[in-house]
Structure 1
Amino acid sequence: MHSPLALVRDAQPNIAHIEGSYEALEHLVGVNLARLRAERQLSLDALARASGVSRAMLAQVESARSVPSIKVLCKVAAALKVSVSAFLRRHAVNGFEHLPAERASRLVSADGRYSARALYPEGEPAAVEFHELRIAPLHTEPGVRRPPGTTVNLVVSEGTLEVSVHDRRQLLATGDAILFDADQPHSLRNPGDTEARVFRVTLNAETPPRWDVPAASAGGEAASAVEAVAAVAAQPA
């Protein structure tokens, strides 16, 4: 049986991971703030006057020595005339990103009768995905089951679409929309004689961070680990 101290030591990599995430966040916010300020040719003093945030605080944020509060970020965003989310983006250089159609990522089935084009910047975990789907006449495309909590919203732009979820079917005409949980068996079928064009928005399931407590006996040992970690966290720095 592990002692509480041993379980606390086992939890240290997770604590280090969380601390590393905060450091990455500090760096990201700092880099974006410095970039946005430089693009507008503002000095720290000028931005401090425009935002009401002290020069010292702005300097700490840019140098990744401090994570600002939401209130501070809102003040700075208003002064820079950007969204608060601009401080958290990795892809946008000018507050937006142009996605040329000819360079878009496109997934095509082996028979070429189904394609999905990404309409959002890929390469990073995304809470929401946006795709354009093209489905050939009389083609059926099986859906990929996603983790519980994932939802899909489909809107038919051209043609018709039959959506099957378990053993239930829904026919959609041009302009119709449907929303369903994507952890269920589902498929898309074009029953028409012309290509169907569909837009799909996928809202991914949230996965909040969890303590990775060693699972030995399901009762007392896990509880001891949580209590030990809590005791360490409660100690004064």
Structure 2
Amino acid sequence: MLSQIEQGKSVPTIAVLWKIATGLNVPFSELLKEKGTEGVFLLKAENTKVLYSSSKVYSSRALFPFIGGRRVEFYELILKPGGIEVAEAHKAGTTENLVVVQGKLRLRVGDKVVELDAKDSVYFRADVPHEYINPTDTETLMYLVMEYTDEAS
């Protein structure tokens, strides 16, 4: 699989990239890193990197430059109607702060479930398995801030 990605014969899913980052013991953003950027960085929408789940019900768009040395990452997430995205536990100490902009979300973190409506936000430890569930027939738009601790980065 890695050789196919290197040769441009395969485009990895979000899950595959997370596994690679975990295996290499680096933050997810390190796999998408830009070179030689300092100071102000304008990230035009057409130049952002959008990743999709294998089922195509979930997409993640990075809203920050991949310039390395980051402990915080910012994403736009879209979950299609009825969609479910299962996330494996991130490195110890990783947290997520999520706000629902449009739609509804059912979030399962370990054995806890919370229901979020538009404008609701939640902060949780992401070092346990978690699921994003869209229980409706409309798209859910969210913004996510992921923070790594020293032990997680």
TM-score category, normalised to shorter length: 0.7 to 0.9
Q: Count residues in correspondence.
A: 117
- Residues 87-106 of structure 1 correspond to what in structure 2 (within 5 A)? 91-92=37-38, 95-106=39-50
Corresponding residue SS for 1:154: strand
- Residues 4-23 of structure 1 correspond to what in structure 2 (within 5 A)? none
- Relative to its length, the structure with more helix (as a share) is 1
| Structure 1: distance between partners of 2:49 and 2:67 | 11
Q: Which residue of 2 aligns with 1:203?
A: 147
Choose the corresponding residue for 1:111, options 45, 49, 55: 55
Q: Which residue of 1 aligns with 2:112?
A: 168
* Greater RCO, CA 8 A, separation 6+: 2
Q: Which residue of 1 aligns with 2:78?
A: 134
Corresponding residue SS for 1:198: strand
The answer to whether the aligner puts 1:154 opposite 2:117 as a matched pair is no
Q: Which residue of 1 aligns with 2:64?
A: 120
Corresponding residue SS for 2:82: coil
Superposed CA RMSD? 1.5
Q: Which residue of 2 aligns with 1:222?
A: none
Retained in 1: the 8 A contact 2:93–2:151?
Answer: no
The answer to whether the aligner puts 1:179 opposite 2:119 as a matched pair is no
Retained in 1: the 8 A contact 2:92–2:151?
Answer: no
Amino acid at match of 2:52: V
| Structure 1: distance between partners of 2:40 and 2:145 | 19
Q: How many Å apart are 1:143 and its aligned residue?
A: 1.4
| Structure 2: distance between partners of 1:187 and 1:97 | 32
- Relative to its length, the structure with more strand (as a share) is 2
Corresponding residue SS for 2:60: strand
| Structure 2: distance between partners of 1:144 and 1:122 | 22
**Greater Rg over alpha carbons, structure:** 1
Q: How many Å apart are 1:109 and its aligned residue?
A: 1.4
Q: How many Å apart are 1:102 and its aligned residue?
A: 1.0
| Structure 2: distance between partners of 1:207 and 1:149 | 7
* Gapped regions of structure 2 (runs ≥ 5): 1-35
Q: How many Å apart are 1:166 and its aligned residue?
A: 1.3
| Structure 1: distance between partners of 2:72 and 2:52 | 21
- Percent of aligned pairs sharing the same letter: 37
Corresponding residue SS for 1:102: helix
| Structure 2: distance between partners of 1:152 and 1:110 | 22
Q: Which residue of 1 aligns with 2:19?
A: none
Q: How many Å apart are 1:194 and its aligned residue?
A: 0.6
Corresponding residue SS for 2:75: strand
Q: Deviations over 1:104-145 (max 9, x none)?
A: 011111222110000001152311000000000111101131
| Structure 2: distance between partners of 1:129 and 1:149 | 14
Q: Which residue of 1 aligns with 2:133?
A: 189
Question: After TM superposition, which residue ranges in structure 1, 4 or more long, deviate above 4 angstroms?
Answer: none
Q: Which residue of 2 aligns with 1:27?
A: none
